[in-house]
Amino acid sequence: MNKNPTTLRILLVLSIIYGSMMFLTGILMAVALPSLDAVYRANQSLMPAEMFTMWKRMAAIPRLLYAAMAALGAMSVVGCVLMWNLRRAGYHYYAIAQLLMLVLPLLFLGKGFLGLGDVMFTALFLFIYYLQLKSLGAFSNPPAPEEEGE
């Protein structure tokens, strides 16, 4: 059994950074979208047309999707913290959050918003996390009493 979690820790740091960015961006856009939209529209003549077109697309995304992505980013970070402590529940939190991050844009925006790269990175990280946690014994240990709901 490999007891050197260096690879796991490096990947977890990357995932915590990504999840934190998703959380902060989602919160900012969910809360400040109307104000930001007013600023961008008022200064539309000062910016390149491509930038304003991109902004209009971002502003058209429902605020609920931004809020949901923020919640999933937070759930992903919680899963990473649990995996850091070699808790198998962390893997499940992380996996659910990442899979929902792939599915929610499809539900809100349509199939054009699912990238092959997103799917590949999600699958790769889930696979590597599984292998790392398994090699460190996280899946072979019986769950702690608080994981069983006692």
Q: Between 144 and 125, where is the model more confident?
A: 125
Q: Is residue 142 part of a domain?
A: no
Q: Is residue 10 part of a domain?
A: yes
The neighbour count for residue 23, using CB atoms within 10 Å, is 19
**CB of 5 within 8 A of CB of 132?**
yes
Which range marks the domain in which residue 73 is found?
6-135
Predicted confidence at residue 144, as pLDDT, reads 59
**Beta carbons within 8 Å of 47's beta carbon, 6+ residues apart:** 40
Q: How confident is the model at residue 146 (pLDDT cuts 50, 70, 90)?
A: low
> Angle 88-109/63-84 helices, nearest 10 degrees?
160
Query: d(Cα 63, Cα 139) in Å, to the nearest integer?
Result: 37
- What pTM value is reported for the model? 0.81
- Terminal C-alpha separation, the chain: 29
Average pLDDT rounded to a whole number, residues 21-36: 89
Predicted confidence at residue 82, as pLDDT, reads 96
Query: d(Cα 61, Cα 47) in Å, to the nearest integer?
Result: 21
Instruction: Indicate the number of domains in the chain.
Output: 1
- The three-state secondary structure class of 5 is coil
Q: Is residue 66 part of a domain?
A: yes
- The mean pLDDT value of the chain amounts to 86
Q: Is residue 52 part of a domain?
A: yes
Q: Is residue 64 part of a domain?
A: yes
User: What are the phi and psi torsion angles at 85 (to 5°)?
Assistant: -90, 15
Average pLDDT rounded to a whole number, residues 10-18: 96
Q: Is the pLDDT of residue 1 over 50?
A: no
Q: Is residue 124 part of a domain?
A: yes
Tell me the pLDDT tens digit for each residue of 79-115.
Answer: 999 999 999 999 999 999 999 999 999 888 887 777 8
Report in angstroms the alpha-carbon separations of 40 from 17, 34, 53, 148.
28, 10, 11, 50
Tell me the pLDDT tens digit for each residue of 47-80.
Answer: 787 877 777 777 888 889 999 999 999 999 999 9
Average pLDDT rounded to a whole number, residues 5-12: 91
Q: Is the pLDDT of residue 150 over 50?
A: no
Q: Is residue 147 part of a domain?
A: no
Report in angstroms the alpha-carbon separations of 119 from 22, 43, 98, 105, 115.
16, 36, 10, 13, 7
Q: Is residue 101 part of a domain?
A: yes
